[in-house]
Structures are given as C-alpha cells and as structure tokens.
C-alpha cells in the first residue's frame, strides 16, 4: 500500500483520531512525583478527583494547553503548513471551546463530537530530568461511540494517524481502523506509552497485523511490544509487523526501517531537554508531513527529529514561532 502511495502521491491530508484533552503541566521534583503516586514516564487513568487533589498540592502554577497525543501530531502538521484534520469528542464547556478554537488557529480542520460530560484533562508532572508522568481523566473523550466513527471522518485522507491511548476502548479503535482502511488510507499507529502496551499486548498484536502500515514506538514501548531491550533486535521485530517501523530513542536519535533497509536518524541539537511532553507526538508530525509530501524517509526522519528537539526546549507541546522557523528551514 505504501508503494502504491509513493507511485500516485495524489493527496496530502493527514487525519488524526484520539482523545481530545487539555494538558495541565506541573513542574515538580521526584519527591512530589512519589507522593502523588504517578508511574514515572507512564500514564495512569484516574478520576477527576485525583487530578484536583494532586493540583491542590503543586508548588508552582501549572501551564494549561491543548493536548492529546494524536492532536499534538495533527497540530504540528498544521503548523508545518500541511493539510490536517482532527477527530475527537469534547465537552460542551469552556475548555471544549478553547480546544476547538486552538485547532482552528493552528490550521487544523475539526471533526468534533460533543456531549454533556466535561472535556478531558491530563495532569503531566514534569520532573527535573524532563520526564513527564501523567494522570489522565478522559472525560468527554471516553464517550466517543464506535458508531460515530464512520468512513466520512476519514474522507480524503492519505494517512490516518491513531494514538495508542485509544486501545483502552477496543470497539472504538476497531471502528476507526476499519473505516480508515475502507477510506483507502495508510494507517499510522503510535504505541503511546509502555503502560498501554503492557496492558493490551495481545490486542495490539492482532490489530498491527491486520491494519497497521506505519508503527511508531520509543524504546520502552518497543521493549514492552517485542521483549527486546536491544534496539536493533526490537526494530527488526517491529519491521516484520508493519511496512514502516520507527524506533524513537530521544536524545540518541531514531531508526526507520523499510523493506529491510535501516536508516539511522541523528539527533538534533545539544541533547538538552526542558520537558519531553509531546516529543514523540511532534516527531510523528514532522515524519508524516514529510511522508505525505513525498520526501524520502531519511528527510522525513530528519524533519521528525527537528520537531521532537524543538518541543523539548519548552514546557508543553506548543513549539513557539522561532522554533517553527528553524524547522521550516529543513524544508527548503
């Protein structure tokens, strides 16, 4: 299917589907993280009360931005000047309005459902080592129904990018995958978190074989998925399951495997990171933007690396204007 796309190269729309969430970013130390009971580097589903209780104990005022893994990727594509659409569910509240306006301001078409439940939130505790550990209350986003996800959501899509967090709703992700395939799209899946992979390994095995063309993972997710800590062994296993396999290694760069060829993508910048929130999501934004625009995989990886680097220089997943200017120089 990917070869067919490379020959035709007939469209550029990337559609992302995932949880529509508001990110609350709290800069705290390891002691705070331990007291909060968060899984370091992982994601834990919690009630809204847990988020409120944890917020009552923060020592610095948190930042609030739009978020959700697939949304971060799609906003990044919009910022790069790409054609992008986001599919998700929001509450009929002020946070929902804030979220939808932010999509519009970032050149992203919205295909939004709404309900009476509050818009979902993620509390990301960012420690001095730049790791983010997340408490997630899905809110309205968890109420997306499989029957709402129709082929029309993906009309015109070349690539449909799906976040691994949807694995918590198996019927929903199957509806998304089957309708994306019916629309003729290439499917990209980001494994999202090692905790997600650990909880849903058997189900992931099935959907990857049946639906996924591009599979993205970091080293912890790859270990949970393959059982191998050795990066090249893990990449080899992933490459046998999807046409394009991506292994993201943070400050050490990344690997892309396609048709037996392994491309090493060098890291950008100094390796310093203020906050890793959105790093993998923005890597995917650069990569997929390059892919639908016909760039070779090496340049796609370089663009992904640049986006991932720039987002690590700020708190949250919003790259400022000067960062996007530096990224866009790669396109010239």
Among 220, 225, 295, CA closest to 263: 295
**Residue 330, pLDDT above cutoff 90:** no
For residue range 189-244, what is the model confidence (pLDDT) as tens digits?
999 889 899 999 999 999 999 999 999 999 999 999 999 999 999 999 999 999 99
> CB count, 10 Å around CB of 244?
22
Categorize the per-residue pLDDT at 10 as very low, low, confident or very high, splitting at 50, 70 and 90: low
User: What was the pLDDT predicted at 130?
Assistant: 87
User: What was the pLDDT predicted at 132?
Assistant: 87
User: What was the pLDDT predicted at 131?
Assistant: 87
Token pair of 57 as six digits: 């104990």
User: What was the pLDDT predicted at 227?
Assistant: 96
Mean pLDDT of 78-88: 97
User: What was the pLDDT predicted at 276?
Assistant: 83
Answer yes or no: are the C-beta atoms of 160 and 185 closer than 8 Å: yes
> What is the DSSP pairing of strand 261-265 with strand 254-258?
antiparallel
Categorize the per-residue pLDDT at 302 as very low, low, confident or very high, splitting at 50, 70 and 90: very high
Among 132, 87, 128, 78, CA closest to 110: 87
d(Cα 178, Cα 191) in Å, to the nearest integer? 18
Mean pLDDT of 273-287: 91
Domain spans, the chain: 2-20+68-111+143-331
**Residue 5, pLDDT above cutoff 60:** no
**Residue 325, pLDDT above cutoff 90:** yes
Q: Which CATH architecture has domain 2-20+68-111+143-331?
A: 3-Layer(aba) Sandwich (3.40)
**Arithmetic mean of pLDDT over the chain:** 93
**Residue 288, pLDDT above cutoff 70:** yes
Could you tell me the pTM of the whole model?
0.90
User: What was the pLDDT predicted at 74?
Assistant: 97
Categorize the per-residue pLDDT at 268 as very low, low, confident or very high, splitting at 50, 70 and 90: confident
% the chain with pLDDT above 90: 83
Among 251, 325, 253, 240, CA closest to 287: 253
**Residue 6, pLDDT above cutoff 80:** no
> What is the DSSP pairing of strand 108-115 with strand 159-163?
unpaired
Any idea which residue has 């060098």 for tokens? 266
Answer yes or no: are the C-beta atoms of 238 and 219 closer than 8 Å: no
What are the percentages of helix, strand and coil residues in the chain, rounded to 5?
45, 25, 30
Answer yes or no: are the C-beta atoms of 22 and 67 closer than 8 Å: yes
d(Cα 139, Cα 152) in Å, to the nearest integer? 24
């Amino acid at each position: 299917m990917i070869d067919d796309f490379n020959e035709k190269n007939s469209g550029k729309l990337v559609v992302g589907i995932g949880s529509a969430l508001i990110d609350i970013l709290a800069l705290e130390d390891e002691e705070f993280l331990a007291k909060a009971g968060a899984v370091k580097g992982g994601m834990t589903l919690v009630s809204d009360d847990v988020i409120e209780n944890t917020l009552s104990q923060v020592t610095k005022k948190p930042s609030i931005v739009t978020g959700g893994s697939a949304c971060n990727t799609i906003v990044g594509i919009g910022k790069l000047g790409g054609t992008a659409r986001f599919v998700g569910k929001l509450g009929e509240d002020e946070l929902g309005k804030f979220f939808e306006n932010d999509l519009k301001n970032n050149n992203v078409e919205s295909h939004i459902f709404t309900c009476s439940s509050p818009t979902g939130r993620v509390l990301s505790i960012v420690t001095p080592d730049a790791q983010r550990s997340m408490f997630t209350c899905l809110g309205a986003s968890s109420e997306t129904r499989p029957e709402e996800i129709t082929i029309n959501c993906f009309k015109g899509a070349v690539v449909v990018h799906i976040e691994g967090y949807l694995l918590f709703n198996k019927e929903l992700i199957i509806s998304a995958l089957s309708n994306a395939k019916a629309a003729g799209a290439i499917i990209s899946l980001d494994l999202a978190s090692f905790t997600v992979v650990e909880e849903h390994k058997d189900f992931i095995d099935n959907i990857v074989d049946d639906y996924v063309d591009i599979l993205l993972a970091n080293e912890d997710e790859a270990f949970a998925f393959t059982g191998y800590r050795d990066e090249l062994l893990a990449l080899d296993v992933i490459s046998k399951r999807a046409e394009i396999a991506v292994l993201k290694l943070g400050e050490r760069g990344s690997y892309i495997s396609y048709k037996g060829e392994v491309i090493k993508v060098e890291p950008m910048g100094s390796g310093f990171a203020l906050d890793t929130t959105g790093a993998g999501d923005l890597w995917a934004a650069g990569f997929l933007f390059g892919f639908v625009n016909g760039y070779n995989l090496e340049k796609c990886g370089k663009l992904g690396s640049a986006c991932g680097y720039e987002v690590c220089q700020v708190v949250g997943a919003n790259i400022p204007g000067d960062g996007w200017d530096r990224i866009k120089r790669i396109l010239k």
